[in-house]
Each structure stands twice: as structure tokens, then as C-alpha cells.
Amino acid sequence: MFKDIRGLSTIPGPKHFFEYMDFSLRSERLELLDQPNIPVADIERNLLELSIINQKLGGHACTWKGFIELAKKGKAAHVCEIGCGGGDNLKTIERKATGKYPDMRFTGVDINPDCIRVAENINWKRPVLFLVNDYRKVHFQSKPDIIFCSLFCHHFKESDLIEMLRWMRENSRSGFFINDLHRNPLAYHSIRLLTSLFSKSYLVKNDAPLSVLRGFKKKELEELLLKAGMLHYTIQWKWAFRWLVIVRS
């Protein structure tokens, strides 16, 4: 299920836009952003464009839906995002929660210090703590109410994902949710066309289509949840080609 797509070593160019590809298998090829020594300016451009993509193509809407499914309206909430990148998902929750959830605080965790610097430069109106760390090494004095990740799971192999699912369940009070990609031919070809036309980031042009190839079928998510020991969950399909996985504690 998690073997690499056979015969595919690079993202195909425009001349091969409609070539046959096997979408039945997840790609294990690393994204460029997962490589070391990426220039800071390139990372910043990548994060800016990813935030726009999340806004325009349903990513932020999916994150907000996951939050309101687990949050208790009017109650204090501590929300933690692992793999928080430039902080745009947490900022979306902060912005949309104004007036509805008066007592909130946030924690963002990312292993890349350049991503954290971008997140810290956002104008935050609620208390927020950013940690440069591997999420597995983070120990909370008080568990967050909600833990989530967005476009993070597809970076990992099966064994790592099972560990991540268990960690999120064990460290959240109300539960956790996942916002990630549906591996689908239309999703792949659409994002490849859109980024080739509008993106100014070589990271986005390469990694956005590759992210889809590293995404999930519903059955794969179900198998991962089962192997992690989670019997009660929901998996919802959201536009555009997103999965929203919710597990309550």
C-alpha cells in the first residue's frame, strides 16, 4: 500500500501532462521542502503561496470545520498544531473564533526554525507559543484540548503515522483532527496545472503535485486508524480533495 509509484522519479513536465500514472500507490519520494539547506527566502515564498492555496482551495475551511467539531463553544480552549509551518492554520482559527471562543491560546510545533520565524511574525491577538522541535519530543505541562495537523501526515511513512496518531490521542483532552489530501488524478493534474500557471515558487511547483501523490485513499486512512487502535472516528471528504479525520478522546 505504501510503496513508491513505480517508474516515477520526478514530477512529469508539461509535455507529459496526460501520461498514465498509477494512483493506487502512495509515493515515498521526499518533497523538496523536506530536504536540508533550503534558502530562507525560498521557504518564505513557499509558505506564502501555501497559505493562499489553503485559503482558495478549502484547506482553511477544512481546518475550521475540524476545530468546531471538537471545540466547546464559549469554553476555554488550548489548541496545538504539529507541523504548523508558517502558522496560517492557527491564524485562521484565531480569526474565525473571534467573539465565539473568548478564551483561547495556541501552541505551534515545527521542526524547521525558518517556518517558526514566519509564524512568529504574524500579528497574533491571542496567547501563542511556538516551539522548534520534533513533535514527539514535546511534553506538555497541561495537555491541549485539541491537537491537529494540516498537510503534515502525507510527509510520513505508515509506521510513523501510526505513532503520530497514538501521540495525538494520548496528548489531547478533547481529541484531534487531521486535514490532509485525497490522492486522486483530478486533484493531481489540477494542482499541477494551477501551480505551473500561477506559482512563483519552485518548491510549490514541485511539492504541491507530489503532496497529492503522497496523499491518501479513504481505505488507507481507515487501516492506519485501525492499526493505531482507534475504533471510533469520522472521515469526511471536503472540497477540494481533502480528508478531515476526527478522533474524540
**Which residues, at least 6 apart from 28, have a Cβ–Cβ distance to it below 8 Å?**
2, 3, 4, 157, 214
Residue 21, helix vs strand vs coil: coil
pLDDT (tens digit per residue) in 187-215 = 999 999 999 999 999 999 999 999 999 99
- Axis-axis angle for helices 40-56, 59-70 (nearest 10): 70
pLDDT of residue 75: 87
d(CA 223, CA 26): 14
- b/e sequence 82-99, b meaning 16+ C-beta within 10 Å: bbbbbbbbbbbbbebbee
For 79-86, what is the mean pLDDT? Answer: 98
Write the pLDDT tens digit of every residue in 87-146. 999 999 999 999 899 899 999 999 999 999 999 999 999 999 999 999 999 999 999 999
Q: Omega of the bond prior to 76 within 30 degrees of 0, cis?
A: no
pLDDT digits (tens, 9 = 90+) for 140-175: 999 999 999 999 999 999 999 999 999 999 999 999
What average pLDDT does the structure give for the chain?
92
Give percent of the chain with pLDDT exceeding 70.
92
Asked if 67 and 146 count as a contact pair (C-beta separation under 8 A), the reply is yes
Structural domains of the chain ordered from first start: 35-179+218-248 (3.40.50.150)
pLDDT recorded at residue 9 = 37
Banded pLDDT at 13 (limits 50, 70, 90): low
